[in-house]
Structure 1
Amino acid sequence: MFYLLLLTLVAPAYSQTATWIWYPGDWEISLSNKMQNRRTERGVFFPVFWKIDNHYVLMDFHKVFNLSQPEEIKLYVEGEYNVKIDGKAFEGSPSTITVPAGKHKINIKVFNQQQVPAIFVQGKTIVSDNSWLVTFEDKEWIDETGKTSDISATKWLNAGSSNLNDPTKLPSTYSLPVKPEPALRIERKPQALVADFGKETFGFLKLHGVKGKGKLTAYYGESKEEALSLEHSETFDRLTIAATTKQDTVISLSKAFRFVNLVHEAGISVDSVSVLYEYADISDKGGFRCSDEELNRIYDVSKYTLHLTTREFFIDGIKRDRWVWSGDAYQSYLMNYYLTNDNETVKRTMYALRGKDPVTAHINTIMDYTFYWFLGIYDYYLYSGDKSFIAQNYDRMQSLMEYCLGRRNKEGLMEGLPGDWVFIDWATGLSKAGAVSFEQLLLCRSLETMAICAGLADDAAGAARYTKEADLLKKKLFDYYWNENKQALVHSRVNGAQTDNVTRYANMFSILFGYFSEQQKQAVKKSVLLNNNIQKITTPYMRFYELEALCAMGEQVYVLKEMKDYWGGMLKLGATSFWEEYNPDKTGAEHYAMYGREFGKSLCHSWGASPLYLLGKYYLGVKPLEPGYSQYEIAPQLGGLQWMEGKVPTPDGTIELAVTTSQIKVTGATGTGVLKFSSRSKPVCKEGIVSDKGNGHYELTIEKGKTYTVKYKL
Structure 2
Amino acid sequence: MTIKYRHLFFLSMIFIFLGTGSAFAQKATWIWYPGDFEIWLGNKMQNRRTERGSFLPPFWKLDNHYVLIDFHKDFDLAEPERAELFVEGQYNVKIDGKSVFGYPGKISIPAGKHRVSLKVFCQNSVPAIFVKGRKVNSDSSWLVTYEDKEWIDQSGKASDQSGTNWLHAAAWDFEDPASPPSAFKLSLKPQSPVKTERSGRSILADFGKETFGFVKLHGLKGKGILGIYYGESREEALDTAQCETLDKLWLKPDKKADTLSALTRAFRFVNIQIEPGMSIDSVSMLYEYLPVADKGGFRCSDEEINRIYDVSKYTFHLNTREFFIDGIKRDRWIWSGDAYQSYLMNYYLLFDSPSVTRTLLALRGKDPVTSHINTIMDYTFYWFMGIHDYYEYTGDKTFIRQFYPRMKSLMDYCLSRRNQDGMMEGMAGDWVFIDWAEGLSKKGELSFEQLLLARSLETMATSAAIAQEPGDEAKYAALAAELKKKIFDQYWNKDKQALVHSFVNGQQTANVTRYANMFGIFFNYFNEAQKQGVKKNVLMNDQVQKITTPYMRFYELEALCALGEQQYVLKEMKDYWGGMLKLGATSFWEEFDPGKKGTEHLAMYGRPYGKSLCHAWGASPIYLLGKYFLGIKPLSPGYQTYLAEPVLGGLKWIEGTVPTPKGLVKLYCSTTAIRISATEGTGTLRIKSKTKPVCNGALIKMATQGVYDIEILKEKEYDIKYNSVL
Match of 1:362 in 2: 372
> Cα deviation per residue 1:37-74 (whole Å; 9 max; x = unaligned)?
00001000000000010010110000001111111011
Give the C-alpha shift of residue 449 in structure 1: 0.2
Which consecutive aligned stretches of 4+ in structure 1 deviate over 6 angstroms post-superposition? none
The 8 Å contact of residues 33 and 144 in structure 2, kept in 1 or not, is answered as yes
Distance 2:177 2:105 in 1: 12
Which amino acid in 1 is paired with 2:130? Answer: F
Match of 2:667 in 1: 657
Distance 2:620 2:277 in 1: 48
Which amino acid in 1 is paired with 2:27? Answer: T
Matched, 1:62 2:72: yes
Matched, 1:45 2:34: no
Distance 2:195 2:528 in 1: 56
Q: In structure 2, which of residues 251, 269, 274 is the aligned counterpart of residue 264 of structure 1?
A: 274
Match of 2:598 in 1: 588
Q: In structure 1, which of residues 209, 214, 218 is the aligned counterpart of residue 228 of structure 2?
A: 218
Match of 1:166 in 2: 176
Which amino acid in 2 is paired with 1:102? Answer: G
Instruction: Summarize the alignment of residues 18-167 of structure 1 with structure 2, pairs less than 5 Å apart.
Output: 18-167=28-177
The 8 Å contact of residues 280 and 311 in structure 1, kept in 2 or not, is answered as yes
Match of 2:7 in 1: none
> Cα deviation per residue 1:646-681 (whole Å; 9 max; x = unaligned)?
000001111101111110000012110000001112
> Cα deviation per residue 1:415-453 (whole Å; 9 max; x = unaligned)?
000000000000001011111110000000000000000
Secondary structure in 2 matching 1:212: coil
Match of 1:483 in 2: 493
Match of 1:508 in 2: 518
Match of 1:437 in 2: 447
Match of 2:200 in 1: 190
Match of 1:420 in 2: 430
Instruction: Summarize the alignment of residues 455-474 of structure 1 with structure 2, pairs less than 5 Å apart.
Output: 455-474=465-484
The 8 Å contact of residues 446 and 503 in structure 2, kept in 1 or not, is answered as yes
Which amino acid in 1 is paired with 2:457? Answer: L
TM-score in terms of structure 1 length: 0.97
Distance 1:95 1:670 in 2: 47
> Cα deviation per residue 1:603-660 (whole Å; 9 max; x = unaligned)?
0000000000000000000000111100000000010000111000001111101111
Distance 2:357 2:171 in 1: 10
Give the C-alpha shift of residue 114 in structure 1: 1.6
Matched, 1:573 2:565: no
Distance 1:289 1:129 in 2: 40
Matched, 1:206 2:216: yes
Matched, 1:544 2:554: yes
The 8 Å contact of residues 75 and 96 in structure 1, kept in 2 or not, is answered as no
Give the C-alpha shift of residue 307 in structure 1: 0.3
Q: In structure 1, which of residues 492, 498, 514 is the aligned counterpart of residue 508 of structure 2?
A: 498
The 8 Å contact of residues 363 and 370 in structure 1, kept in 2 or not, is answered as yes
Distance 2:362 2:317 in 1: 19
Q: Which runs of 5+ in 1 are unaligned?
A: 1-13
Q: In structure 1, which of residues 597, 606, 629 is the aligned counterpart of residue 607 of structure 2?
A: 597
Match of 2:411 in 1: 401
Matched, 1:386 2:391: no
Structure 1 window deviating more from structure 2 (677-686 vs 176-185): it is 677-686
Match of 2:16 in 1: none
Give the C-alpha shift of residue 146 in structure 1: 4.0
Matched, 1:620 2:640: no
Secondary structure in 1 matching 2:149: coil
Q: In structure 1, which of residues 293, 296, 303 is the aligned counterpart of residue 313 of structure 2?
A: 303
CA 1:15–1:428 in structure 2 vs 1: closer, same or farther (change >3 Å)?
Answer: farther
The 8 Å contact of residues 308 and 577 in structure 2, kept in 1 or not, is answered as yes
Instruction: Summarize the alignment of residues 312-327 of structure 1 with structure 2, pairs less than 5 Å apart.
Output: 312-327=322-337
Instruction: Summarize the alignment of residues 228-239 of structure 1 with structure 2, pairs less than 5 Å apart.
Output: 228-239=238-249
Distance 1:316 1:98 in 2: 50
Q: In structure 1, which of residues 174, 181, 197 is the aligned counterpart of residue 191 of structure 2?
A: 181
Distance 1:618 1:519 in 2: 22
Matched, 1:282 2:292: yes
Secondary structure in 2 matching 1:197: strand
Give the C-alpha shift of residue 147 in structure 1: 4.5
The 8 Å contact of residues 207 and 270 in structure 1, kept in 2 or not, is answered as yes
Match of 1:16 in 2: 26
Match of 2:15 in 1: none
Matched, 1:334 2:344: yes
Distance 1:637 1:375 in 2: 26
Match of 1:678 in 2: 688
Structure 1 window deviating more from structure 2 (402-411 vs 148-157): it is 148-157
Q: In structure 1, which of residues 322, 334, 344 is the aligned counterpart of residue 354 of structure 2?
A: 344
Secondary structure in 2 matching 1:98: coil
Distance 1:693 1:289 in 2: 28
Distance 2:90 2:162 in 1: 26
Give the C-alpha shift of residue 100 in structure 1: 1.0
The 8 Å contact of residues 187 and 195 in structure 1, kept in 2 or not, is answered as yes
Which amino acid in 1 is paired with 2:610? Answer: G
Match of 1:7 in 2: none
> Cα deviation per residue 1:84-129 (whole Å; 9 max; x = unaligned)?
0100111212244331111110100001122111001101121111
Give the C-alpha shift of residue 150 in structure 1: 4.6
Distance 1:421 1:527 in 2: 29
TM-score in terms of structure 2 length: 0.96
> Cα deviation per residue 1:152-199 (whole Å; 9 max; x = unaligned)?
310000011111111111211211010100011001011000000000
Match of 2:12 in 1: none
Q: Considering only aligned residues, what root-mean-square deviation do their CA atoms show, in Å?
A: 1.0
Matched, 1:227 2:230: no
Distance 1:363 1:97 in 2: 46
The 8 Å contact of residues 25 and 136 in structure 2, kept in 1 or not, is answered as no
> Cα deviation per residue 1:340-391 (whole Å; 9 max; x = unaligned)?
0000010100000000000000000000000000010111111111100001
Give the C-alpha shift of residue 494 in structure 1: 1.0
Q: Which runs of 5+ in 2 are unaligned?
A: 1-23
CA 1:324–1:619 in structure 2 vs 1: closer, same or farther (change >3 Å)?
Answer: same
The 8 Å contact of residues 25 and 134 in structure 2, kept in 1 or not, is answered as no
Instruction: Summarize the alignment of residues 519-530 of structure 1 with structure 2, pairs less than 5 Å apart.
Output: 519-530=529-540
The 8 Å contact of residues 15 and 129 in structure 1, kept in 2 or not, is answered as no
Match of 2:260 in 1: 250
The 8 Å contact of residues 551 and 618 in structure 1, kept in 2 or not, is answered as yes
Distance 2:542 2:160 in 1: 67
Which amino acid in 2 is paired with 1:298? Answer: I
Distance 1:172 1:693 in 2: 55
Match of 2:20 in 1: none
The 8 Å contact of residues 232 and 269 in structure 2, kept in 1 or not, is answered as yes
Secondary structure in 1 matching 2:196: strand
Which amino acid in 2 is paired with 1:253? Answer: L
Aligned length: 701
Structure 1 window deviating more from structure 2 (398-407 vs 161-170): it is 161-170
Q: Tell me which of the two structures has the higher relative contact order, counting C-alpha pairs closer than 8 angstroms and 6 or more residues apart.
A: 1
Match of 2:703 in 1: 693
Which amino acid in 2 is paired with 1:397? Answer: M
Distance 2:244 2:448 in 1: 33
Match of 1:647 in 2: 657
Secondary structure in 2 matching 1:312: coil
> Cα deviation per residue 1:540-576 (whole Å; 9 max; x = unaligned)?
0000000000000100000000001000000001111
Give the C-alpha shift of residue 682 in structure 1: 2.2
Secondary structure in 2 matching 1:473: helix
Distance 2:160 2:84 in 1: 31
> Cα deviation per residue 1:391-412 (whole Å; 9 max; x = unaligned)?
1110000000000000000110
